[in-house]
């Protein structure tokens, strides 16, 4: 048996007719991946961005409806100026390339997070990407940038309170669904599956509201090494879970 055959045999069995509608990924482990190679952390972020491109394209190919990725958190500003600068530089490069290839890839892109903290140039690129995306349907990729789950909830609460003050909303009629309409994720179904590579077993402020009933898949693989096979393993694991939502 060739190595290729053996690999294929070990590949997880995914039922592509029954995919979750929405998968979310915490793209973690870029820094450690680079460190293992005696390279600067920014090198890991660059390779991680390529992994994102590969996985996003593949998710579209298999017919996934929504992919949400954690790219930069509200806490990631604590990192060195050099690292933050490198990440923002990669983001600009990625968006410029994405805009150039959108007609070909036809992936719809959205952004969750407070973009006002980004440079005007980056904000403009995000806006452009969003605008072009309106022409497409099919897979929607949500990129979480300067995103924090608690920040998202506080913002929603503020906007809701403002609507109450202006007489546009009434607290007696507030439901979970209505409140969800104030979140960045407005209109997007909750992720059924959340994947975190890099061996960390935490959410790190990612989608606390939306993950109430998500299934979690943790793997030691570092994000730059994450590939289709690893995605298959995560989906196959998800497909073997018994989701009860509080019932029996």
Residues labelled as active-site residues = 28, 76
Joined tokens for residue 154: 């506080």
> Tokens 């290729």, residue?
4
Q: Which does 52 bind (CB under 5 to 8 A by kind): Mg ion, ligand IPE, none?
A: none
> How many residues lie near Mg ion (CB under 5 A)?
1
Nearest to 117 by CA among 72, 160, 153: 72
Q: Which is nearer to Mg ion, 83 or 114 (CB)?
A: 83
Give the Cβ contact number of residue 129 at 10 Å. 21
Nearest to 144 by CA among 63, 244, 71: 71
**Shortest distance, position 86 Cβ to ligand IPE, whole Å:** 10
Q: Which of 32, 92, 106, 130 binds ligand IPE (CB under 6 A)?
A: 32
Q: Which of 124, 127, 131, 200 binds ligand IPE (CB under 6 A)?
A: 200
Q: Which is nearer to ligand IPE, 102 or 148 (CB)?
A: 148
**Shortest distance, position 231 Cβ to ligand IPE, whole Å:** 17
Phi, psi of 74 (to 5 degrees): -65, -20
Strand pairing of 193-196 and 215-218? parallel
CA distance 72 to 211: 18
Q: Which does 221 bind (CB under 5 to 8 A by kind): Mg ion, ligand IPE, none?
A: none
Site for Mg ion in 8-47 (CB under 5 A): 28
Q: Which does 226 bind (CB under 5 to 8 A by kind): Mg ion, ligand IPE, none?
A: none
CA distance 59 to 93: 22
Q: Which does 87 bind (CB under 5 to 8 A by kind): ligand IPE, Mg ion, none?
A: ligand IPE
**Alpha helix locations (H) across 106-227?**
120-133, 149-165, 176-180
CA distance 115 to 102: 21
Enumerate the β-bridge partners of residue 194.
Answer: 24, 216
Q: Which of 26, 98, 109, 125 binds ligand IPE (CB under 6 A)?
A: 26
Binding mask 59-98 for Mg ion (x = CB under 5 A): ----------------------------------------
Site for ligand IPE in 68-97 (CB under 6 A): 70-73, 76, 87
Point out which span in 2-10, 20-28, 165-173, 231-239 binds ligand IPE (CB under 6 A).
20-28
Nearest to 149 by CA among 240, 210, 236, 224: 210
CA distance 32 to 226: 13
Residues that bind Mg ion (CB under 5 A): 28
Residues that bind ligand IPE (CB under 6 A): 26-32, 70-73, 76, 87, 198, 200, 202, 204
């Amino acid at each position: 048996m060739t190595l290729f055959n053996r690999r294929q045999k070990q590949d997880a069995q995914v039922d592509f007719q029954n995919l979750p509608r929405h998968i979310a990924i915490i793209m973690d482990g870029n820094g450690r991946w680079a460190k293992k190679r005696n390279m600067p952390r920014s090198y890991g972020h660059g390779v991680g961005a390529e992994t994102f491109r590969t996985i996003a394209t593949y998710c579209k190919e298999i017919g996934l409806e929504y992919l949400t990725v954690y790219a930069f958190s509200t806490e990631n500003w604590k990192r060195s100026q050099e690292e933050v600068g490198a990440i923002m530089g990669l983001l600009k490069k990625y968006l410029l390339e994405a805009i150039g290839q959108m007609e070909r890839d036809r992936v719809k892109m959205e952004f969750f997070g407070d973009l006002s903290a980004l440079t005007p140039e980056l904000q403009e690129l995000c806006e452009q990407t969003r605008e072009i995306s309106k022409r497409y349907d099919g897979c929607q990729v949500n990129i979480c940038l300067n995103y924090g789950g608690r920040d998202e909830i506080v913002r929603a609460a503020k906007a809701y309170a403002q609507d109450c003050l202006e007489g546009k909303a009434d607290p007696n009629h507030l439901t979970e669904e209505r409140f969800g309409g104030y979140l960045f994720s407005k209109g997007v179904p909750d992720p059924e599956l959340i994947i975190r590579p890099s061996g960390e077993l935490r959410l790190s402020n990612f989608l606390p509201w939306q993950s109430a009933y998500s299934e979690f898949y943790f793997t030691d693989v570092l994000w730059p090494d994450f590939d289709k096979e690893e995605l298959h393993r995560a989906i196959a694991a998800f497909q073997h879970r018994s989701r009860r939502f509080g019932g029996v």
